Structure 1
Amino acid sequence: MLELGRMLRGMVAILAVVGFAGCSSGDPEPDGGKLTVSMMQNALLKPADIGPTWKAPPESAPPATLVSVCGGDTDPAIIPGKPSLASAPLSDEGTKGVQSLTQYALVYDDIISAATALATLRAVADACPKSVQRPAKTGDRQEPAYTETANTSSLEEGSWAGFVTVRHKQYDKAHPATADVAVVVLTRANVVLVDQYAIYRLGRSDASANPQFAADWQKLIGTTLSRLP
């Protein structure tokens, strides 16, 4: 159980991901090491798996895109190919910040399609700039000016392999706050799992990441993988 404290409602708009969703139809039949949509949906974390303050949004239409891998002003990544989809977005909003977990399982017909999808998303991650600076935004999506760094590295978790892109966002001194984001993309057999864990904290003027951040995202992804055969 994570004990990160409750987070701020006013930052929820920054965390919005287009098209929170449930599960699509077209579950492939189990075939050797093949994973199905229902298996993946059951493995994705629910609010009770993380903590009492976590919630799931109302169900909506399946998303057409994933999360943004690079951050900054980049668009969400396009879903590679035509997989069946399972997803489970979660958030924890409080008085000092907000944290979210956005989970997608892309279930393909075969291993080659899944491997191709992983390579496509890795190419996106490898093209991410190491550092970006953005001016303040106004209008519906208000956000102070910030500097954001990103680093991508290979990742292996048991029989799953892929990469993780870790981002750290530092807001300007007039609006002390930080944001840490980990986008994990792993594949096994015919599935690509995409998880984004993000935590926004107010009142932080230092540039360091949350010391528990790395342990937290690793624990979340590890818990999901442990539920699969």
Structure 2
Amino acid sequence: MVVTRVVRAALAVCAVAAFAGCSSDDSPDPDGTVTVDTVRNALLKPAEVGPTWKAPAESAAPNQLVSICGADTAPAGVPGKPQLVAAPLSDEGTEGVQSLTQLGLVYEDAVSAATALATLRTIADACPPSVSRPAKSGDREEPAYTETATTAPLEEGGWIGFVTTRQKQYDKAHPATADVAVAALARGNVVLVDQYAIYRLGKSDASANPQFSADWQKLVGTTVKRLSGQ
């Protein structure tokens, strides 16, 4: 993305926090179970994130989430048998790409949701702290890179889970950075999995994306507060 679009995106993410105080018209069932429609309506729409964001033409397979550890690891499978709501968004520019993958896993009960979260956390805890990969050629051409990953507990508005953050540094001959945050949070019968990623070309230092941490927290926090009816 060009610098002007990066600025607009940062402002848009800040503006999205204004939606955090808005509650959905939907409400949980009398027994406290959150419905699929409530989750679907809580997920962010392209215009709410920024004017250049849109829904991509292609989306992931329905039985997959996102890759938690990154590098060459496959996307995590959906644990258990929830109803899955997906809302992927992206903002593509000439100097990079931003993406937000929103996944709501709606289970029959809180025990199933907690078990699913524990399964995802087990995957995250097994992520290696650093991985280096050689350059790839062919359809998925990519320069050599080193990717680091850390996992930490995460709590937001009564939702509890974890976040795995990754940074990818490419070979100096191909300056670029990629920052990814995968947040998984559970409350009641719902597990929310959000992946925010920003890829910047022409950058080779760790501070290339100074707004990254604040941005993913605002995006996740907005959805969580909507689901909590705040």
Tell me which interval the TM-score lies in, with the shorter structure as reference length. 0.7 to 0.9
2:12 corresponding residue in structure 1: none
- Is the CA contact (8 Å cut-off) linking 2:8 and 2:50 kept in structure 1? no
Task: Sort the Cα spacing of 1:186 and 1:138 in 2 relative to 1 into closer, same or farther, 3 A.
Answer: same
State whether structure 2 residue 47 is matched by structure 1 residue 45.
no
Bigger relative CO (Cα 8 Å, ≥ 6 apart): 2
1:66 corresponding residue in structure 2: 65
**Deviations, residues 30-87 of structure 1 (Å, cap 9, x unaligned):** 2432111100000001101110000002476861100000000000001000000111
- The Cα RMSD (Å) is 1.8
Task: Sort the Cα spacing of 1:173 and 1:67 in 2 relative to 1 into closer, same or farther, 3 A.
Answer: same
- Give the TM-score, by structure 1 length: 0.86
Question: How far is 1:4 from its partner?
Answer: 2.4
Using the aligned pairs only, state the percent identity: 72
2:6 corresponding residue in structure 1: 4
Question: How far is 1:170 from its partner?
Answer: 0.2
Q: For structure 1, list consecutive stretches of 5 or more residues without a partner in the other structure.
A: 8-28
Matches of 2:32 and 2:150, distance apart in 1: 32
- Is the CA contact (8 Å cut-off) linking 1:6 and 1:96 kept in structure 2? no
1:155 corresponding residue in structure 2: 154
The code of the aligned residue for 1:4 comes to V
Q: Secondary structure at the match of 2:33?
A: coil
2:100 corresponding residue in structure 1: 101
1:202 corresponding residue in structure 2: 201
Q: Secondary structure at the match of 2:6?
A: coil
Q: Secondary structure at the match of 1:185?
A: strand
Task: Sort the Cα spacing of 1:5 and 1:137 in 2 relative to 1 into closer, same or farther, 3 A.
Answer: farther
Matches of 2:76 and 2:58, distance apart in 1: 21
- Is the CA contact (8 Å cut-off) linking 2:151 and 2:163 kept in structure 1? yes
2:212 corresponding residue in structure 1: 213
**Paired residues, what number?**
206
Q: Please give the residue correspondences for 1:131-142 in structure 2 after superposition, counting only pairs within 5 Å.
A: 131-142=130-141
Task: Sort the Cα spacing of 1:130 and 1:61 in 2 relative to 1 into closer, same or farther, 3 A.
Answer: closer
Moved over 2 A (4+): 3-7, 57-62
Say which is worse superposed, 204-213 or 43-52, in terms of deviation. Answer: 204-213
Q: Please give the residue correspondences for 1:106-125 in structure 2 after superposition, counting only pairs within 5 Å.
A: 106-125=105-124
| Higher helix proportion | 2
